[in-house]
Amino acid sequence: MTNTMWGGRFAASPAEIMEEINASIDFDKRLWRHDILASKAHVTMLAATGIVTKKDAREISKGLDQILAEMEAGKFKFSRALEDIHLNVESRLHKLIGPVAGKLHTARSRNDQVATDFKLYVRDEIAGLDAAFAALQLALVTMALEHAATVMPGFTHLQTAQPITFGHHCLAYVEMLARDRGRFADAAKRLSECPLGSAALAGTSFPIDRNMTAKALGFTKPTANSLDAVSDRDFALETLADASIAAMHLSRLAEEIVLWTSPQFGFARLSDGFSTGSSIMPQKRNPDAAELVRAKTGRIAGAFQALLMVMKGLPLAYAKDMQEDKEPVFDALDALKLGVAAMAGMVGDLEINADAMRQAAGREYATATDLADWLVQNLGIPFREAHHITGQIVAMAESKDCDLKNLKLSEIQAVEPRVTKHVFAVLDPSQSAKSRKSQGGTAPTNVRREARRWIKRLEKDGLSR
């Protein structure tokens, strides 16, 4: 038999494979709460405008509440024959209250209905992600404050560059996550236009009040163009793009945790709670949680590309292709939420080996730039010349297989006679880090100030250490 919700035009049932490819209830049932919320707002508006009677509206609303209770209790039976969440709800409503249930769909279409449900879902997910990112920021800020003066090597090209503080390194990720939160907040602002009332594509002839439904659902206003409203998935694409960037940031931090916890670095250790073992090598401690966070970036970025390809060739307005919009969003946001939570746990769990960091910061001539700066500041040598002189001194230290601070003054003076014993003060990694007091620099005083500023900011988000 044909689907009773739309089958009047059809004399025969869909092919079995058609039913299989057409059904979306297996994944869009996740929208059940949002679908009922939007339906209640819609029927309340229909009653307020006189399109349906208040009695019918009360009966419909009561039925929707019963369906909501069934779903919350896990007792609702979803049917693949009814295709999607919208028809499943409407069919159950009809069984509960009879033909009056059919009035719920007055002045709307599944096209504006699904766009509204999907926006409500994405908006809720963004709010949850913001709280999760804030928690990760707090974990990083707490670590930064604790290790404001812990010296480590800073890298470029993954080669030792200059001494920095571990606290400064942590705060770099706090800034990245702040931009992520800002992007998601921007996406939430742009999606805050309500599609409900756009109907299939052209609007409706019923005297509906779209401002009323928009306000009831927490949107700032109704969408301005019915064609755009039902065919727009920019809000999902933008959220996936933001998720891809955020996942990339998590992946970079995950990669560093993998490096730091390796015996070759020895900068940090993860507890058993965030490590796994090997089925064959008893000694192994694998940072699998970090590796999985790193790997999930691929599926999140892939989801963005998948939806982009779905949308790129579609003429206005709605096309069934757009049924493929939800699964990538659901999967990507689930993966991102899991990754953020795992990363917050790992950051809070890290045991930092400050001695190993400090020793590494003193190797590979990390204070060479400090030596060049000393030549500029104390001898008035142009930086390019100071750079060349320092390079010669580094080459000498390398030939003697020693650090810069272990060279004799006479050896340094053989390259530049005007150098004094005071030069050795700047060759200490801790002093190097302390000297970087410029705005945004790595000095412990800067780190403590920035960490405290971030703590106050995060406390406004309702978080506390």
List the catalytic residues: 157, 278
Positive/negative CA dihedral, 60, 61, 64, 65: negative
DSSP 271-319: -GGG-B--SS-TT--B-HHHHHHHHHHHHHHHHHHHHHHHHTTPPSS--
CA distances from 23 to 114, 115, 225 (A): 14, 17, 28
Asked if 394 contacts 365 with a C-beta cutoff of 8 angstroms, the reply is yes
Q: Which of 365, 370, 353, 377 is nearest to 431 (CA)?
A: 370
The Cα angle at residue 188 between residues 229 and 28, in degrees rounded to 5: 60
The distance of Cα 437 from the centroid of its chain, to the nearest Å, equals 31
12: left (phi over 0), alpha (psi -120 to 50) or beta: beta
Q: Three-state SS across 392-424?
A: HHHHHHHHCCCCHHHCCHHHHHCCCCCCCHHHH
Q: Locate all alpha helices (DSSP H) within 164-225, ordered by sequence.
A: 166-190, 210-216
Cis bond upstream, residue 317 (ω within 30): yes
Q: Cα 447 vs. chain centroid, distance in angstroms?
A: 25
Angle formed by the axes of helices 85-97 and 110-146, nearest 10°: 120
Q: Which two tokens stand for residue 444?
A: 């412990």
What are the CA-CA distances from residue 364 to residues 107, 298, 355, 368, 384 (Å)? 72, 34, 16, 9, 21
CB atoms within 10 A of CB 388: 13
Show Cβ contacts of residue 321 under 8 Å, excluding neighbours closer than 6 positions.
Answer: 310, 311, 314
